[in-house]
A and B are shown apart, each in its own frame.
Chain A
Amino acid sequence: AQKVTQAQTEISVVEKEDVTLDCVYETRDTTYYLFWYKQPPSGELVFLIRRNSFDEQNEISGRYSWNFQKSTSSFNFTITASQVVDSAVYFCALSEWMDSSYKLIFGSGTRLLVRP
């Protein structure tokens, strides 16, 4: 069965530090999608990135970067020069074809606290 593991339950850093959030997934399929969502205290989940299984190119968007490595089944997320506004829960998610449809499975989330 598909599974997403975010081993870091909580991370606390001081502002301007770099921080990496780990995500490891398990899947039997060759075609799948990986996502990162951010959930600030306000509650709504905010989409950050989607990757399909055939696109292993790393991506950078401002202070955010993602490292996708199929060899280790990991899709890690790095925030450079963290800011207080980055404080949130971050979810990694896997979408895989199952039972005639795509199912999106979230990891347990990593709570990031950025202290001033």
Chain B
Amino acid sequence: DTEVTQTPKHLVMGMTNKKSLKCEQHMGHRAMYWYKQKAKKPPELMFVYSYEKLSINESVPSRFSPECPNSSLLNLHLHALQPEDSALYLCASSRITGQDYPSSGANVLTFGAGSRLTVL
């Protein structure tokens, strides 16, 4: 079983809907990430939270709104999405070592199984 749990596994929404993706980990990791993966493409970084604070936003449109309510949870709020936003959304977590704060990009990431989003 994966140690990073994502819900829901599948989500279909209209362009006017508001929905949220959830991610949970209990490994004590203090960095959490959202990645977007289109079909047959590599994952693309969207956001990084370090110590529950947003440390990296890769110029993601405001219709995606991340939230990290505590060290174990990460949400991605979705509003007014477009069909081209349909993709697999992957959550990941990692330790933070002093040398690579705030991104933790040098650390090993533990990924969840993803939430497959379809926007109609």
A interface vs B, CB < 8 Å?
Answer: 33, 35, 37, 42-47, 50, 91, 95, 101-104, 106-109
Contact = CB atoms under 8 A, between A and B. Distances in A.
A109 B44 CA distance: 13
Contacts of B114: 43-44
Given A101-B56, A101-B103, A106-B42, A43 B113 contact: yes
Contacts, number: 57
B106 A102 contact: yes
A91 B108 CA distance: 14
Q: Is the contact region of chain B dominated by helix, strand, or loop, or is it mixed?
A: loop
Interface of B: 2, 4, 40-43, 45, 55-56, 88, 90, 92, 100, 102-106, 108-114, 116
A31 B55 CA distance: 22
A33 B105 CA distance: 9
B8 to A, nearest CB: 13
Contacts of B103: 101-103
Q: Is the contact region of chain A dominated by helix, strand, or loop, or is it mixed?
A: strand
Given A42-B113, A44-B114, 19 more contacts: A37-B109, A37-B111, A43-B116, A44-B2, A44-B4, A44-B112, A44-B113, A46-B111, A47-B108, A91-B42, A101-B100, A101-B102, A102-B100, A102-B103, A102-B105, A103-B103, A103-B105, A109-B40, A109-B42
Contacts of B110: 47
